[in-house]
Amino acid sequence: MKGCHEKRVCVTGTTGYIGSWLVRLLLQQGYHVHATARDPEKASRMLSTLEGTNRLKIFRADLNEDRSFDEAVKSCVGLFHVAASMEFGTSVQENIEDHVRRNILEPAVRGTQNLLQSCVRSGTVKRVVFTSSISTITAKDETGDWKPVVDESCVTPANLVWKTKNSGWVYVLSKLSTEEEAFKFAKENGIDLVSIIPPTVAGPFLIPTVPSSLQVLLSPITGNPKFYPILVSVQSRLGSIALVHVEDICRAHVFLFETSEASGRYLCSVGSCTIPQIVDVLSSEFPNFISKRFEEEFNRSAPSVISSEQLLDLGYRFKYDVKDVIKESIQSCIRNGLLDN
């Protein structure tokens, strides 16, 4: 919070794309960081080269284990809960719904409770920033028509997700149920919790492999059969692909932690592009890339505006626009030898 001298915070999911970048930003800003990871050695390999590691401590913690976060949140004033199960679907063929409920959703909800219980026990955590997802948002109304403006109130109905089982449906349900539980638990236990709703996050990365969200964004040129259907599914739910630069999403996490008036949910998108517009940027900036997989026909213009007005009204400002996000994603993949220009 502004004016608070104690700057010790805990971050979950620090072996991941957003979590690792958030640790980097917090260290740059002078915070003491308790980074949690299921595999501390993996976290250490990635984070030990950052500036300010004299203020970094890595803890082993797993959402599936009761009291696992007790040590990590001890003496912290804030928690950034970034970790989440990233299972997009399931290969199980029989009793799918029962399988997903028991093996994915219930453990994810219990994990949220475990973590927040550790915060209650700490007695020091003043605010929790929960990383939600734009997968919890839809641009369509009850009759299937596009809403002109999409904001935090446009929540995807869980019953529709169960019914349609579109690409990425397990992830959508997991984000919906963990966020709902986080707000419920926070209310019942007097925790100050705000959530941030990232759209597709892209740009540079610290992790050793291409982050899933970049694979989704770049799937029209890579032709990846696992990620392209996810991009198509996002476009059909939102009418376009909303984007944010990784540095901006991390700055927004810290902004929401430090801004005491913040409350509820905040969509954090700098703008959006339809799939044809993404392909246009890619082919004008990187003419050597040929669109390998671009079979479906899409409208060129987006039917809905995806609004981050609430976050902007609170005083947040983006540093990077949509073009920067796409260009930097490609450049970082080339730099890391993950794409050949």
Ligand X SMILES: NC(=O)c1ccc[n+]([C@@H]2O[C@H](COP(=O)([O-])OP(=O)(O)OC[C@H]3O[C@@H](n4cnc5c(N)ncnc54)[C@H](OP(=O)(O)O)[C@@H]3O)[C@@H](O)[C@H]2O)c1
The answer to whether the beta carbons of residues 31 and 75 sit under 8 Å apart is: no
Strands (E), 72-169: 78-81, 127-131, 149-150
Q: What six digits make up the tokens of 265?
A: 């949910």
Can you tell me which of 211, 220, 239, 271 binds ligand X, judged by CB under 6 A?
211
**Window contacting ligand X (CB under 6 A); options: 151-159, 186-194, 211-219, 319-327:** 211-219
The answer to whether the beta carbons of residues 175 and 136 sit under 8 Å apart is: yes
Q: From the centroid of its chain, how far is CA 14?
A: 12
Task: Examine residue 64 and tell whether it contacts ligand X (CB under 6 A).
Answer: yes
Can you tell me which of 28, 39, 106, 301 binds ligand X, judged by CB under 6 A?
39
Q: Which is nearer to ligand X, 85 or 166 (CB)?
A: 85
Can you tell me which of 10, 11, 17, 193 binds ligand X, judged by CB under 6 A?
17
Task: Examine residue 85 and tell whether it contacts ligand X (CB under 6 A).
Answer: yes
**Window contacting ligand X (CB under 6 A); options: 61-69, 96-104, 162-170, 273-281:** 61-69
Q: What is the DSSP string of 239-308?
A: SSEEEEEHHHHHHHHHHHHH-TT--EEEE--SEEE-HHHHHHHHHHH-TT---S---S---SS-SSEE--
CB of 182 to ligand X, least distance (A): 11
| φ, ψ of residue 30 in degrees (nearest 5) | 90, 5
CB of 56 to ligand X, least distance (A): 15
Nearest to 88 by CA among 102, 104, 101: 104
Mark residues 162-191: x for contact with ligand X by CB under 6 A, - for none: -------------x----------------
Cα torsion 35, 36, 37, 38 to 10°: value is 160
Task: Examine residue 267 and tell whether it contacts ligand X (CB under 6 A).
Answer: no
Can you tell me which of 114, 122, 133, 308 binds ligand X, judged by CB under 6 A?
133
CB of 330 to ligand X, least distance (A): 16
Can you tell me which of 15, 112, 304, 332 binds ligand X, judged by CB under 6 A?
15
Q: Which is nearer to ligand X, 148 or 208 (CB)?
A: 208
Whether 42 is catalytic is: no
CA distance linking residue 108 with residue 130, whole number of Å = 14
Q: In sequence order, what are the residues at sequence separation of 6 or more whose Cβ sits closer than 8 angstroms to the Cβ of residue 123?
A: none
User: Of the listed 140, 175, 184, 187, which one is catalytic?
Assistant: 175
Can you tell me which of 112, 122, 200, 308 binds ligand X, judged by CB under 6 A?
200
DSSP bridge partners of 34: 10, 57
Can you tell me which of 83, 129, 186, 270 binds ligand X, judged by CB under 6 A?
83
Active site residue ranges: 175
- Per CB under 6 A, residues contacting ligand X are 12-13, 15-19, 38-39, 62-64, 82-86, 111, 131, 133-134, 175, 198, 200-201, 211-213
